[in-house]
A and B are shown apart, each in its own frame.
Chain A
């Protein structure tokens, strides 16, 4: 290879990864105003978290009967209110709960629940009924209706979830503040991103437009990542790392309205206790560090965190000390000024099950609607395409 060639487009013509670790100095623009509006952080438990061993009905005989080996004893939990206790691994969440920062919404689900991970996750992502297939996500439709650019919705992952895909605007998926920037870092992509306005209306134009947007967004995120670097101690897990990135993006003043992160591994068909305990501890420690970090920087008051899973698990344990796919489940909403902190509604009714599963009392779309209407301050109706029972959490 001629040296000239090499210099001209070094990063494309040499072996690389999708995360080329190059070092580059950039400086922020001077006319920079930090975003002070509201935002939502969504945390997804993938695989179907067992809500009954997360928020435990520790005085209910039916609970112990259904789970001779899996039930958590009084000594394994941290008491909340109304005969419910938090899994003992969740000390951090319990502290937030005591401060009045947590709403536990019980029995959340939807009619005719689907027990396939994929299908049920799609339903949660698109906010569809169990008999319809939608191609856009609820947050994607929010982006479409109320945002201008991809970076206003950011997912900490290497691929974008359906929830974050709109028709016009699709959120930005990134592993951290730098990865997308480096993926697009080359002379070639730089120059091609600098487009004239004579773009075609066809797919070629669409690709160039998306490239320009991606390039701009990646640079925006990358530049902001140099403004604030959190010194707070987060768990070294993926979730801890991702929440730390999110906190840095928030505190650096980015105008992102929606952040999305996932924690996987909740499909506990066998040997549930240790697996789930470890995951819940990771979640609880990470979220505690996150909230403290935001509080310290005065950004917690503008942030609400929603945590959900695609379904709960069967009430009765199975033969492998695990649980199978179930239906209704609990959801956490975390924020500084909640309408009704604590246990939001009545706990699970283990005496009345449908084919061994908890029956839903709160439609998950009511929670979405509340977040849209009363937190992000937009009309939920156009986004959820349905009139939904109102509830008031935030």
Chain B
């Protein structure tokens, strides 16, 4: 491995960094999971970065090979059921890793980032692999499309129908679970422009929304309450589709979604003026998500100094970013699951229907220690403890045995190739500028000044072990 010396002035200052590189790297850290120097050098030549991100020709779906669905579960013997359940669990784990892999390799970074965002928004715990694929692809297909279609399709997905008890929502005995979360978490926000009575009536409108055994949507006419309902002060024979239309008519819905998007893609603290601006864009475009994102990524304020590097990476952003930068593919890919769970964000496993609270809630002392330690462990082929907390369905003995195990993170990193794709280039951007977003803290600057390293690998580990690497 060739060694080379960084000039400290270049390393520490962003003033030397070309402004266009700074913008591009910021854009891709938010609209994607980051890019390396080689990608940046290619992209910088093109005219319209934003359009390239938002204009998706054909959305890549999660192309996971599932065995044909068997509907004979009830006829199986106890042993056969057991082995089927085991197979399902394995498939679910594989899908989780498959999606993670897709995030780091997908051709459209924004599709990856948006579908992760919508997973947190339409938070849903999923154990069934068929439902996981169906749900994920609904998110992917509609992630930049029309918000109304997205809401309707999610509401028709088997995962959501089960998770929020739409199957139990019948004419004779309505279940309000879905109706409440639709208003509170998916569209309007808690206690915003709806009443308890609206929730009751909305539940009636969604009676009959059901799913077949194979997971396809099925409207059960017999369970549907076709009587008159009064919702938001209007009376009529409304069904679920009508309700979603009525909700979307309220500008509050556009505001609520824009707020969440702003916090996720721009800044954890909302600027009211910017919010008003994007709410208008979203509402006036009839809830076109692509137009909303286009507007944000083209806004001057998106590239302002206080926005760059202002966000704490979610654990998935952190993991996928590392995976992508170093093309990590460990021998035991279960290590990805362990990391997700230990860092507090596991795909298909949000804490509850409200999703991951995000921002500073990702960080407590112990998690921060793990996150800071993570790059040096991964890049040094170190060891990760296998310890699953609260694995309710595992045998406690087996679990205890697992607690003692350490998984070696066996993973070949091609450092020569990595150095080529992350070439330090004082005229465009240095390694520090490439890997870290925002201005470095004084402490970090001083530390680097006092500990100049010569090998590329060590420089990399030093930079990634800075708190700044936790930001994007």
A residues sitting closer than 8 Å to B (CB atoms) are 1-2, 5, 8-9, 12-19, 46-47, 117-119, 121-122, 133, 135, 150, 157-160, 162, 165, 170-174, 180, 183-184, 186-189, 191-192, 194-196, 198-200, 202-204, 206-208, 210-211, 213-214, 217-218, 237-238, 262, 264-265, 267, 275, 278-279
Contacts and interface: CB of A to CB of B under 8 A. Distances in A.
B384 A12 contact: no
Nearest to A48: B392
B365 A150 contact: yes
Interface string B420-452: 000000000000000000100111101100110
Interface string B438-472: 10011110110011011101100110011110110
B439 to A, nearest CB: 8
A172 B424 CA distance: 39
A162 to B, nearest CB: 7
Contact of A265 (B370, B395, B462): B395
Contacts of B344: 159
Given A47-B392, A183-B370, A211-B372, A203 B312 contact: yes
Contacts of B373: 16, 18, 183-184
B363 interface: yes
Nearest to A47: B392
A191 B403 contact: no
B310 A202 contact: yes
B443 A12 contact: no
Contacts of A262: 389-390
A333 to B, nearest CB: 23
A118 B395 CA distance: 18
A174 B101 CA distance: 31
Contacts of A214: 365-366, 368-369
Contact of B458 (A1, A17, A46, A213): A1
A189 B369 CA distance: 9
A298 B344 CA distance: 38
B284 to A, nearest CB: 32
Interface residues of B, number: 71
A170 B363 CA distance: 9
B290 interface: no
Given A5-B453, A238-B400, A188 B390 contact: no
B385 A17 contact: yes
Contact of A204 (B376, B383, B384, B468): B468
Contact of B466 (A14, A122, A192): A192
A82 B166 CA distance: 45
B447 A180 contact: no
A186 B466 CA distance: 12
Contacts of A191: 443, 446-447, 450
B368 A203 contact: no
Interface of B: 125, 268, 306, 309-312, 341-342, 344, 351-354, 357, 359-361, 363-370, 372-373, 376-377, 380-385, 387, 389-396, 399-400, 403, 406, 438, 441-444, 446-447, 450-451, 453-455, 457-458, 461-462, 465-468, 470-471
Contact of B384 (A9, A14, A18, A135): A18
Contacts of B446: 191
Contact of A2 (B391, B451, B455): B455
Contacts of B382: 15-17
B406 A180 contact: no
Contact of B366 (A133, A173, A196, A264): A173
B120 to A, nearest CB: 14
Contact of B353 (A17, A133, A165, A189): A133
A186 B377 CA distance: 13
Contacts of B466: 188, 192
Interface centre among A18, A19, A135, A278 (most CB of B within 10 A): A18
A350 B438 CA distance: 63
A378 to B, nearest CB: 22
A187 B391 CA distance: 36
A202 to B, nearest CB: 6
B311 A264 contact: no
Given A16-B376, A195-B443, A160 B384 contact: no
Contacts of A5: 453-455, 458
Contact of B351 (A8, A18, A162, A173): A162
B387 A158 contact: yes
Contacts of B341: 159
B377 A17 contact: yes
A265 B384 contact: no
Contact of A210 (B368, B438, B468): B368
Contacts of B311: 203
The 10 A-B residue pairs whose C-beta atoms are closest, nearest first, are A265-B396, A214-B365, A170-B364, A173-B366, A17-B383, A207-B467, A15-B380, A12-B376, A183-B369, A267-B392
Contacts of A159: 341-342, 344, 366-367, 389
